[in-house]
A and B are shown apart, each in its own frame.
Chain A
Amino acid sequence: MSKALQYTTFSIGHDQYAIEVGHVQEITRSFNVTPVRLSPPYIKGLVNLRGQLSVAVDVRTLVQDKSEATPDWMSIVCRREESLVSLVVDRIGDVIEVQPEQIVPPPESIGKSKSALVTEVIKTEDRLISVLNFNHVWRELCQKL
């Protein structure tokens, strides 16, 4: 029991995702984004988060979800190397506790680039949740440009 891991869940389109609680600094509502011109499509823009700037990253584009974006999105703010990253998602779910045995590798069938970011899948009784690996996301963000 003591080994239970905590994840924050969120959704994009019809898909459920989760991210390790440890990466998450806070959750915010949709905000005023300043677009960063000539940046890759998954960079939504810059956000003033109480005097600190955060880079808003569109997770929908990152995981190549084709569904329509929602107007009132939420963001999960993560901190890495003195940088703030706001992961823009559709809805925020609960924080869930997961036993290690619930975690399995993702099936081969999900796309290649998607699977680079989704390294694990959580099985619960009623649903499957893809785990977004923030380390990989970060690496992707830093490398791509």
Chain B
Amino acid sequence: MITKISDAAISEFIAESEEIVERVVLSLTESPRKKSDSELIRNIYRDIHTQKGAAQLVGASRVGERAHQLEERLESLKKTTDLKIQQAHIDEILSTMDLIVFELKEFQQSRNPSRSSGAPDPIPPTPAPNRMTAGTASPAPAVPSSDEPSSSPEQAGEPSGTIRVAIPLLDRLMSLMSEMVLIRNQVLQYSHSSDDINFLNLSQRLDVITASLQNEMMKTRMQPIGSIIGKFHRVVRDLEQSLKKEIHLNLIGSETELDRSLLELIKDPLNHIVRNSCDHGIETPEERAAAGKPRKGTLTIKAFHEGGQFFIEVLDDGRGLNRDRLIEKAIEKGIIRSEQAKSMSEKEVCRLIFHPGFSTAKAVSNISGRGVGMDVVKSNIEKIGGSVDLDSVSGKYTKVSLKIPLTLAIVPALTVRAGKDRFAIPQARLIELALARTDGQGEIRLDSIQGKEVLRIRDKLLSLVRLNEIMKTSDLSDQATGHELALSGAQYVAIVNADCAAYAIVVDEILDTTDIVVKPLGRILKSLNLYSGATILGDGQAALILDTNGLANHANLAESNLNKARDPLAEAGLQTASQTSKDYLVFTTGLKGRFALPLLNVHRLEEIQDGQLEYSRNTRVLNYRGEILPIFHAHEIFGGQRPEMNGDQDLNKRLPMIVLEVSSRRIGLEVQRIEDVISIDTRLQSNVIDHPSIRGNVITGNGVIVILDEQKVIKVLNEKFIRSQELAS
């Protein structure tokens, strides 16, 4: 199975192993010992386990075996209550460590046969329990290295040496690096206007060296994915036992590298996918045999690079997704309607499992953080600019593919100007750049429907945002390019992609396409949810990176505008993008009537118990995945009295709750009952609106439904929350 493992992976393995050996030996031999006996054993157990996994990963099977033996021994020690470590235990562990060190050397030499040629065949040291005594000053077992002095000169010169460097140091180097790139840019700019040949030469060299320095520097951020997927050996083995299944784990491309910070971020989603595959994908041996498959299921995790992106696929040869069951469940949860189901493609059905609310309704335990649904996997991956796809054939396989950008630190982006300001739009969000005519001619032109500007591009209509208007940027006094274009009847538009749909951004000028260094915004500005980060442009000035989702939300594109723009679209018989923004969740509140909120803004549906709630001053709050979620009752939107509810006093009573999310702000809305999801095709009637939080009414087969304005609801309740905090303080 192990075909090709890079030298880099091997040397990392050796370095990690040496570190583990050193740590274990030191922890056993230091005196007095810093840790309690059981803690000590637990720590060693963990280390040895890592060692075993790593060894299996690179194919150092004999190292793995030794580690496995020791692990088993430690496991039995771990179970001993009131464990007192005896000298005999220490000796036993130490001598096994010696064997591991020996096997390590062997393995290393087998990888580099040329280097070890001529070295005498090392003799495995016989375990000598009494050689190592507690309190020995030297922590390093003086075993095989001393057996082969002849090879040492060559080995000392080996280029594979690694050292460990603190991550903050690397980060500082990185930011110094990006600053140097900026200075280089300024020097180059200056050199264009200089005649000094020496200066020109020097700036050329500075340019070349800075570029290669940047290149090498970026590599320090990269780490092989093996450090994460290697751990799945253990996960899968444990699952095999608890699920009574037989699963063979096949790792391909463990040495594929990815930015360290991204590795951290895909760890949990990946873990969830793997567990899902073992749990729901792969069948029991009996089922498999009955279906004519080998008893042992295969789970393949494959990582590779393609087109400047990182891919990781989790493929199981299990039962696949069952279309009918998915649809049944989706209808039951109110995600789709039965008549919708018939027209859904295989792909669309598969994607249902990414729908928020699909895996949740019953899962109150989600609150306590037990697990996450696939919707969370999806949103987490999308947060880092990646995407998730799922492909399955019932009875055959399920494949989940993640596509991740190689690094978050440097992304290609388009710089545009709006008024005096410059903004960056990540290339990943950009679909197309166009010059739209304003004189009503041509394939791409600005048009308007019911007073709303839209972009007509070929045979599609897109909603439109004027960046300078929405950002309220100050006008450039000499609107050179923008103005001329406007006069000549054209405008630059960037067509971008957001979760809800594609839309167009009108900008004054297109400046540049470059790789930009992305800087995080920090806590203060993050919550604006309009920018995904910031960068420093070539002239040293900071510029903000637009978050196309945030901008769409801010411009209210998600629902109102798009809906308005869509009605005539539908009349014209044109294809509209997604249906979801017309879907509403209907619920009752204990107040008269039925209410509805756009499904797009319903983050999740939860059930909570009064006993789980805590109070922040006068507001009920819930610890919701590490975030404080204020909980309101629907009557608070309208400022009225709380209606009587049955069983109010019962702390164990389960309350249905809607987690409403608008522009990443979340609140919990306690309701009486979740009724239905309806799709509203007709226009809202706005003649009876007796509260600002109401957007309008619709008439359905079952009577009138009050459609709430999710923006206002969040606003009203948030203000209430803040006010109650202030009053109390």
Question: Which stretch, B84-92, B443-451, B523-531, B605-613, touches the partner chain A?
Answer: B523-531
> B523–A51 contact, CB under 8 A?
no
B462 within 8 A of A: no
Output the residue of A43, A45, A51, A81 with the most chain B CB within 10 A: A51
Q: Which of A1-9, A10-18, A19-27, A31-39 is near enough to bind chain B?
A: A31-39
Is there contact, CB below 8 Å, between A55 and B176?
Answer: no
What's the tally of chain A residues with a CB closer than 8 Å to chain B?
Answer: 25
How long is the Cα–Cα vector from A50 to B181 in the complex, in angstroms? Answer: 12
The answer on a CB contact under 8 Å between A36 and B182 is no
**Most chain B CB inside 10 Å of its own CB: which residue of A35, A46, A83, A142:** A46
CB distance from B723 to the nearest CB of A (A): 14
| Contact among A48, A81, A83, A84 with B536 in the assembled complex (CB-CB below 8 Å) | A48
The answer to whether B534 and A46 touch across the interface, beta carbons within 8 angstroms, is yes
Contact status of A81 and B523, CB under 8 A, knowing A46-B542, A51-B176? yes
Kindly list chain B residues whose C-beta atoms are within 8 Å of the C-beta of A76.
none
Contact A83/B522 with A38-B528, A51-B536, A145-B527 known, Cβ cut-off 8 Å = yes
Which residues of chain B come closer than 8 Å to A35, judged between CB atoms? 421, 473
User: Do A55 and B471 touch across chains, with their CB atoms under 8 A apart?
Assistant: no
The minimal Cβ–Cβ distance linking A45 to chain B, given in whole angstroms, is: 8
Q: Mark B515-526, 1 if CB is under 8 A from A, else 0.
A: 000010111110
Q: Bin the interface of chain B by size.
A: 20 to 34
* Alpha-carbon separation in the docked complex, A52 to B535 (Å): 9
Task: A48 to B178: give the CA distance in the assembly, Å.
Answer: 12
Q: Tell me the complex Cα distance, A53–B519, Å.
A: 7
Chain B residues whose C-beta falls within 8 Å of the C-beta of A53 in the assembled complex: 519, 521-522, 534, 536, 542
Q: Are A36 and B531 in contact (CB under 8 A)?
A: yes
User: Is B175 an interface residue when CB atoms closer than 8 A count as contact?
Assistant: yes
| A residues near B176, Cβ cutoff 8 Å | 51
Complex contacts, B543 vs chain A, CB 8 Å: 34
* In the assembled complex, B73 has its CB within 8 A of some CB on chain A: no
Does B466 lie at the interface of the complex (its beta carbon under 8 Å from any beta carbon of A)? Answer: no
> Of the candidates B471, B527, B530, B544, which one forms a contact with A46 in the assembled complex, judged by CB atoms under 8 Å apart?
B544
Chain B residue at minimal CB-CB distance from A81:
B523
A82 to B524, CA, bound (A): 11
- Bound complex: CA A13 to CA B472 (Å): 28
The reply to whether B525 and A50 form a contact with Cβ atoms under 8 Å apart is: no
> Cβ of B120 < 8 Å from any Cβ of A?
no
User: Quick check: is A85 within 8 A (CB to CB) of the other chain?
Assistant: yes
Once the chains bind, are B524 and A145 in contact (CB under 8 Å)? Answer: yes
Report whether B524 and A37 are in contact in the complex, using a CB–CB cutoff of 8 Å. Answer: no
A39-B525, A43-B524 known; A32 and B541 CB under 8 Å? yes
Partner of A85, one of B178, B421, B524: B524
Tell me the complex Cα distance, A36–B524, Å.
12
Cβ–Cβ contact A55 & B179, under 8 A: no
Nearest-CB distance from A140 to chain B (Å)? 10
Q: Which residues of A contact B541 (CB under 8 A)?
A: 32, 34, 48
Q: Smallest Cβ distance from B525 to chain A, in angstroms?
A: 6
CB-based nearest B residue for A32: B541
- Nearest 6 A/B pairs, CB to CB: A51-B179, A83-B522, A37-B471, A145-B527, A46-B542, A34-B542
Contacts beyond the supplied A38-B472, A51-B176: 19 A-B pairs with Cβ under 8 Å? A32-B540, A34-B542, A36-B528, A37-B421, A37-B530, A38-B528, A38-B530, A46-B525, A46-B534, A47-B542, A48-B540, A53-B534, A53-B542, A55-B525, A81-B522, A81-B523, A82-B522, A145-B524, A145-B528
Task: Show 25 A/B contacts (Cβ-Cβ < 8 Å), sorted by A.
Answer: A34-B543, A36-B528, A36-B544, A37-B421, A37-B471, A37-B530, A38-B472, A38-B554, A39-B528, A46-B542, A47-B542, A48-B541, A51-B178, A51-B182, A51-B536, A52-B175, A53-B521, A53-B542, A55-B525, A81-B523, A82-B522, A83-B523, A84-B522, A85-B524, A141-B523
Q: Which residues of A contact B (CB under 8 A)?
A: 32, 34-39, 43, 45-48, 50-53, 55, 81-85, 141-142, 145
